[in-house]
Amino acid sequence: MIISRTPFRVSFVGGGTDLRAFCSKEPGKVLSTGIDKYVYVAVKRQSAIVDYKYRISWSRIEFKQKIDDIEHPIVREALRLLDIDFPIEISTFADVPANTGLGSSSAFAVGLLHALYALKGKIVTKSLLAAQAAKIEIELLKRPIGAQDHYAAAYGTLSTYTFMPNGEVVAEPVFIDPLVRERLQGKLMLFYTGVTRDAHEVLKGQSDKTAEKFESLRKMKALVDPLRDVMSSGEDDGRIGKILHENWLLKRGLADAITSSAIDRFYDKALAAGAAGGKLLGAGGGGFLLFYVEPERQAAVQQALSDLYRMPFRFDTQGTRITYYDQAIL
């Protein structure tokens, strides 16, 4: 049996510029980090005497004899891509529900590929895992998403990702002193709105309007380097909230489905209670709200958002990894 552990992610600024509608014309750029909330994928090679060749356990359990009959789209395409033609069982578990803006489907795709490669006895790079996971979702499944989530899941650590028009992705870690990282983590608050949504529908609307909103996306991309510099230096970190707020004002104007009256109320309550700024994570429409709040104002913000669940988190520093490896001979 092989078990992979792959982080969900928090994207700070630049999201949307990784969509092909933007980065096929000029480089896109985002700043994000993996967090200590994970999806676990367990794969086990079975003996030839099992009743079904493929057993996949997710929100339902599938028993299939042929790859083409598998309903889970990412599992089906990953098995095809790696030419898995032997009996196998696949199970998945996660710390956070899907469709909540933390890049769950992309993290699953990366983690599944990682586990399958390990099952075949192959060590592969994080870059390859991210690229192949993005290929599955974007090229094979035709999902209207960008590739930032796949790279954040693979690399994990606080990084900038530049998406070139030729398809190349440049991953650059943000060098940050451990004490600065601790201080930054202590000033970020994450709240679950209780609303799940189909990110693909939201992103399709955003992608369709890319030409119309191109200048807004450029402004969002231009926030990446200033935020990286503030985080890396640890100086004048009060600017972080202002940069997140500026990014949110730009993002919410990209498509109608990105925000809602309920999300706006939560956001305004947090600002009134003392948050310096924040944003809705992911494509929009629901999921998690992230805020930058000085320690002395956090109790007031938590009280203002007492209807919401606050999820504590820390930055991940490892990305996807194999946490259990036992190759039994069958």
d(CA 13, CA 248): 8
pTM: 0.94
- pLDDT recorded at residue 308: 96
- pLDDT recorded at residue 285: 74
Domain 178-310, CATH: 3.30.70.890
96 CB-near residues (< 8 Å, 6+ apart): 8, 37, 102, 104, 311
- pLDDT recorded at residue 153: 98
- pLDDT recorded at residue 201: 60
User: Under a CB-based contact definition with an 8 Å cutoff, are residues 161 and 169 in contact?
Assistant: yes
Which segments of the chain have a pLDDT < 50? Answer: none
- pLDDT recorded at residue 209: 66
Domain residue ranges of the chain, discontinuous segments joined by +: 2-175+317-325, 178-310
Render pLDDT for 76-101 as a digit per residue (tens, 0 to 9): 999 999 999 999 999 999 999 888 88
- pLDDT recorded at residue 235: 85
Render pLDDT for 278-306 as a digit per residue (tens, 0 to 9): 999 987 778 899 999 999 999 999 999 99
Instruction: Return the number of other C-beta atoms located less than 10 Å from residue 46's C-beta.
Output: 15
Name the region of 284 (left: φ>0; alpha: ψ -120 to 50; beta: rest). Answer: left
For every residue of 112-133, DSSP letters joined together read HHHHHHHHTT----HHHHHHHH
User: What stretch of H or E contains 271?
Assistant: helix 261-273
Domain made up of 2-175+317-325: CATH architecture? 2-Layer Sandwich (3.30)
d(CA 24, CA 210): 11
- pLDDT recorded at residue 211: 77
